[in-house]
Every structure is written in structure tokens, then in C-alpha cells.
Amino acid sequence: MARRSVRVLRAHPKLLALPLLGGAAGIAFVLTLFGSLLTTGPFLRDPGPVLFAALFVAYLVETFVASFFSAALVAATREAFHGKDPEIWPALATAWDRKVPLLAWSLVAAVVGVVIRGIESQDGIVSEIVAGVFTVAWSVMTYFVVPVIVFRDPSVREVFEESAGTFRDTWGESIGAMGTVDIVTGLVVLVGIGLGAGAFVATDGLGDAQMPAAVLVGGTVVGVGLLIGKAISGVAKTALYVYATEDSTPQHFEDMDFSGLSGDTSSSDSRII
């Protein structure tokens, strides 16, 4: 899945612009929000209620921004799967057309995020286990939320039902794709950390320039790794959704035995929902 997703990115490198824009927008928002809060007296004196309110706003906007650019990536990837040359602005326009369901999904995700954070804030191993199980279940149920919103025009309830149903029908492939992308991204991040450490050692004697050089080298590689991992994840997720719902093999995945990933030797027709 990872290799074939990279094929798509090699054929259409402009797809990388979408997670890059999404990451930049998300980072800018978080820095602005919490930078503003840290300069206010009430937050420093009593961060409790203010912190949870800030977390809700952060979850809401971050989820919307991430979902918006993910929706654009899904839309552009769908064009690539149909043999077309994906363009950035039409993909963003498609995501904007889905802004209402994306915002509704973001509101639900923000509430759930604050609830999970509230559970985690309780002392005790039980609360940590409950929060962990809740997080995993939520991730599974919402894995295909963005493709569902882009490919269809669902209600909020249908978004979750179709996302969970698609994950159920492609559970082996989905877990495999999630794990593989995480492994690839993690390896690149480790390489970046290693190069950063190497740069730190190599610049020994440069004084104040030693740490900036290490951060620049390592941070650049880590950032590129996270960017590519995000793009690979979006492409793989879109491919799985097309496989599960359209009874067709996406371009660049023609030699992929999707059913074999979960050990299912039955025809792909049994997976159509």
C-alpha cells in the first residue's frame, strides 16, 4: 500500500501541496491561540476552565482545517485514480463545497476530544485505559469519515455509519494501511533525528551555531517525513474507499490484491456496501 501510494505521489507530486498547506495552517492557528492565552493573566492564574475551552476551540479548528485539506487531497486523488491530472484549486473548491458536513464532523470530534482529554486528566490507571480504548474505537469508527463526505452527500449520522461500515468491510486492509504508513513515517522521523544528532556532533566547535544547525537538518527531514506520511495516508485511504465502494481498482494499484491483505480470498464483490 505504501509503495503504490508513493507511485501516485511520484506521478502527481503536486498532491503534496495539500497536506503542506494544511499543516502550515494548523501550526499557525495553534501558535496564535495558545500564544494569546499564555499572555493573559486569567489563564496563568487558573488554567482549568479556560484550558478546556481553549482545547475545544483548538480541537474544532484543527479538525476542520485538517479535514478540509484532507478532503481536498481525497478529491485530487480521486481525479488521479480516474486517469486525470489533479489540480489544487479544483480540489480545494470540492472541499469547500463540503464545508458544512466537514464543520459538523469537526464539532462532534471536538466534543469527543475534550471528553477524552477530561477522562485522561483523572488520576488512576483505569481512566487511562478507558481513554485509550475510547481513542482507538473512535479512530476506527471515523477512519473513512473524510472520504465518505467527499464521495457522498451524507447526513451526520450517515457519515459515521458509512465510515464504520467501510472500515468493517476492509478491516484487514485498513489496519495494514494505518500500520504501514505509521512505520514508514516513523522510520523517516528516526532518520531525521539521527541526522540532527549527526549534525550536532559534526558542528562541534561552532558554538551557538551548533544547535540551530542540528535543528535545521533534523527538523527538515522530520518535517518532510511527516508531510509524505500524511500524503501517503490520504492516498491509501482513498484507494481503500474506492476499492470498497466502487468495485474498481484505482490506477497505480492494478497489481494490488486488496482482498489478500486481510486474508480474504473471496471476490471483491462481497465487499461492496
Average confidence (pLDDT) over 234-261: 77
- Which of these, 80, 77, 141, 154, lies nearest to 109 by C-alpha position? 141
Cell numbers of 237, please?
485511504
18 and 62, same domain (yes or no):
yes
Give DSSP secondary structure letters for 84-103.
Answer: ----HHHHHHHHHHTHHHHH
Spatial separation of the C-alpha atoms in residues 45 and 267, rounded to whole Å: 62
Spatial separation of the C-alpha atoms in residues 92 and 19, rounded to whole Å: 12
Spatial separation of the C-alpha atoms in residues 73 and 177, rounded to whole Å: 17
Cβ contact 222:64 at 8 Å: no
Average confidence (pLDDT) over 236-258: 79
Q: Is residue 270 part of a domain?
A: no
Q: Higher pLDDT residue, 258 or 253? A: 253
136 and 49, same domain (yes or no):
yes
Q: Higher pLDDT residue, 167 or 101? A: 101
16 and 120, same domain (yes or no):
yes
Domain boundary (127, 146, 169) is at: 169
143 and 218, same domain (yes or no):
no
Please tell me the total count of domains within the chain.
2
11 and 133, same domain (yes or no):
yes
Phi then psi dihedrals of residue 220, to 5 deg: -65, -45
Cell numbers of 71, please?
478532503
Per-chain mean pLDDT for the chain? 78
Predicted confidence band of residue 49 (pLDDT cuts 50, 70, 90): low
- Which of these, 241, 254, 66, lies nearest to 151 by C-alpha position? 241
144 and 181, same domain (yes or no):
no
Question: In this structure, is the dihedral angle defined by the CA atoms of residues 113, 66, 4 and 265, taken in order, positive or negative?
Answer: positive
44 and 131, same domain (yes or no):
yes
Reduced to 3 states (helix: H, G, I; strand: E, B; else coil), residue 252 is: coil
Cβ contact 103:95 at 8 Å: no
pLDDT of residue 232: 87
229-242 in b/e form (b: 16+ CB < 10 A) is bbbbbbbbbbbbbb
Q: What is the pLDDT of residues 120-160, one digit of tens each?
A: 777 778 777 887 888 888 877 788 889 989 988 777 777 87
Spatial separation of the C-alpha atoms in residues 101 and 105, rounded to whole Å: 6
134 and 257, same domain (yes or no):
no
Domain boundary (130, 149, 169) is at: 169
Look at residue 53 and tell me whether its pLDDT is greater than 60.
Answer: yes
125 and 260, same domain (yes or no):
no
Domain boundary (120, 147, 169) is at: 169
Q: Is residue 154 part of a domain?
A: yes
Q: Is residue 269 part of a domain?
A: no
Q: What is the pLDDT of residues 62-97, one digit of tens each?
A: 889 989 999 999 999 999 888 888 899 999 999 999
pLDDT of residue 273: 35
pLDDT of residue 265: 40
Range of the domain at 39: 2-169
pLDDT of residue 68: 93
Ramachandran class of 173: left when φ > 0, alpha when ψ lies in -120 to 50, beta otherwise: alpha
16 and 85, same domain (yes or no):
yes
